[in-house]
Copies of this chain bind each other. A is one copy, B any other.
Amino acid sequence: MGIKVVTIGGGSSYTPELVEGFIKRYQELPIKELWLVDIEDGKEKLQIIGDLAKRMVKEAGIPMEIKLSLDRREALINADFVTTQLRVGLLEARIKDERIPLSHEILGQETNGAGGFFKGLRTIPVILEIIRDIENLCPNAWLINFTNPAGMVTEAVFRHTNFKNFIGLCNVPLGMHRGMCELLDVKPKRLRIDFAGLNHMVFGLNFYLDGKNIKKEAMAALQRPDSHISMANIMAEPWDPDFIKGLNVMPCPYLRYYWKHGDMLKKDIENFNNNGTRAEIVKKIETKLFELYKDPELKTKPKQLEERGGAYYSDAACELIASIFNDKGDIQVVNTLNKGAITNLPYDSVVEVSSVITKEGARPLSMGDLPEEIIGIVRQIKSFERLTADAAVSGNRIKALTALNLNPLVPSDRIGQIVLDEMLKSHRKYLPNFFNN
C-alpha cells in the first residue's frame, strides 16, 4: 500500500518546493514513493535535485522514498498521482519563445502571445504521450498538470483524449487570494473568493469574509493606491482605479497583457534591450539555485527559490492531491471541463473555476454567465486556446497560423506569418506533428 507519486520533469528547480509540500503534509498524505523522472538531457539536474530531496526527507524523519528515473514508463507503473512540470526544449526554447516575438514587437511570454502559443505547440504532444502511457500503466492515476500553458494543455487533453483523471493547476488564483487577504488584512482561512475564467485569465467574481459577501469592500480595496496585487514574474503596473470600479471583478495580473498591452510592450522591449529576456534572467537564477542545491549541508528548501517565481505552486499541487486522496470536499481553483459551469463559455471547453475537490476529482461550482465586462476577452482567448490545441494535435500549419493571428497580441497577419515560420523553423526539433507527417 502507500501512495506512489511520479513527478515528470523532476529535475526542475521547483521540485524542492514540491518535496517540502509533501513533507509538511505527510500525516494526511503518506506518500511511500516519490519518483522524480526526467529526460536524458536533464540527467545532471535530476541527480542534484534527487540528492537534495533525499536529504530533505531524511531531515524530516519520514519514510518517504525518493526514486530517480530517466525511464518514464518504468516510473509510471501503478502510480497513484502523476505531476507534470516539464519544459519541452528546456530554457533554451523559452528564450526563443520570448526573443523572437519581441524582436517583431509582439508582446507575450511563455503563456501569452506568440511565446505561449509556441510553448503550447511543443508541450501538448508530450502531455498526450504521457497520457497514453498512463492509460497503459496506471489508468486510475490522477494527472496533476502544472506545465504551462496550462489552459491550452488541459483544453487539448479534454478535447483530444478520453482521459478524465486530469486536472490543470496554476498558482495564480492562490496568489490573487493572498493578495486580497493582504489588502483586507485578514487571514487566508477567513476569505473565500469565487474564481472563474481561463488559466491566466481568471477573475475573482465574489468575495466572502467569514461567509459574508464583502464584494463592495473587496472592490474598494482594489481601487486603493497600494493594491498592486502582483506576481513576481510580470510587471506590477497599477490598474486605473476607475477602470477596476467599472469592471467590478478582480482581474488576474495577466490581464495586463491585454488591458495594458501598449504600455507593457514598451516596457518589455526596453527591458529586453537592457536585460535580455526573462528566460535569460531565469536561467541565471537557476544556475545559482542548482549551485545552492548541490551543497550537501542543504537539507531544506532554500529561501532563494522564492525569487524564481511560481510561489504557491507546491501548495496548490499538494493541497489538491491531499484533497483528492482524503475526499475532502473543499473548494479549490482548477482547470477542468466546463460542462456548463460557466454558462456563456463552450460546454465542451476547459475553464479555470472554483471547484469542490473529492476523490472523484474536481466538480465545478455553478458560476452562471461571466459578466458582460469580461466575457469578450475571455471568449476571444478561449477561441485562441481551442484553435491552438487543435493545431498542436494536427500539426497543420494553416490552423496554427489562424490560431496565432487570432491572438490579440499579434499586431497583424503579415507579422504573424513571419513569426510563425521563424519559430516553426527554430523549434522544428520539438514539433514532430508539423514536420514528420
Contact = CB atoms under 8 A, between A and B. Distances in A.
Contacts of A372: 383, 386-387
Contacts of A45: none
Interface stretch (A70-78, A268-276, A295-303, A394-402): A394-402
Contacts of A211: 327, 358-360
Nearest to A248: B402
A100 B379 CA distance: 30
A213 interface: yes
A379 B373 contact: no
27 contacts: A105-B262, A211-B327, A211-B358, A243-B402, A258-B408, A259-B412, A260-B414, A261-B411, A262-B415, A263-B412, A263-B415, A329-B330, A331-B356, A339-B368, A340-B341, A340-B342, A340-B368, A343-B343, A343-B347, A364-B366, A366-B367, A372-B383, A373-B406, A375-B379, A375-B383, A376-B381, A408-B408
Contacts of A381: 376
Nearest to A405: B243
A25 interface: no
Nearest to A245: B398
Interface of A: 105, 192, 208, 210-213, 237, 239-240, 242-243, 245-247, 258-264, 327, 329-331, 339-343, 347, 356, 358-360, 363-369, 372-373, 375-377, 379-384, 386-387, 397-399, 401-403, 405-406, 408, 411-417
B401 A377 contact: no
Given A240-B417, A366-B366, 20 more contacts: A105-B262, A208-B359, A210-B359, A211-B359, A211-B360, A240-B414, A258-B408, A259-B413, A260-B413, A260-B414, A261-B412, A263-B412, A263-B415, A339-B343, A339-B368, A341-B366, A364-B366, A372-B383, A376-B379, A377-B380
A364 B354 CA distance: 12
Contact of A367 (B340, B376, B408): B340
A416 B213 CA distance: 31
A264 B240 CA distance: 27
A264 B413 CA distance: 11
Contact of A402 (B331, B373, B401): B373
B356 A398 contact: no
A126 B105 CA distance: 42
Contact of A369 (B258, B260, B340): B340
Q: Which 9 A-B pairs have the closest CB atoms?
A: A211-B359, A262-B411, A246-B402, A376-B380, A376-B383, A340-B343, A211-B327, A341-B366, A339-B368
A24 B213 CA distance: 29
A210 B358 CA distance: 9
A373 B367 contact: no
Nearest to A324: B211
Contacts of A386: 372
A82 B414 CA distance: 43
A90 to B, nearest CB: 30
A348 to B, nearest CB: 10
Contacts of A403: 246
Contacts of A242: 397-398, 401, 417
Contact of A339 (B356, B366, B380): B366
B384 A376 contact: yes
Contacts of A415: 262-263
Contacts of A368: 339-340, 347
Contacts of A401: 240, 242-243, 246
Contacts of A413: 239-240, 243, 259-260
Contacts of A340: 340-343, 366-369
A360 B247 contact: no
Contact of A260 (B365, B406, B412): B412
A369 B344 CA distance: 13
Contacts of A264: 412
Contacts of A411: 260-263
Nearest to A330: B329
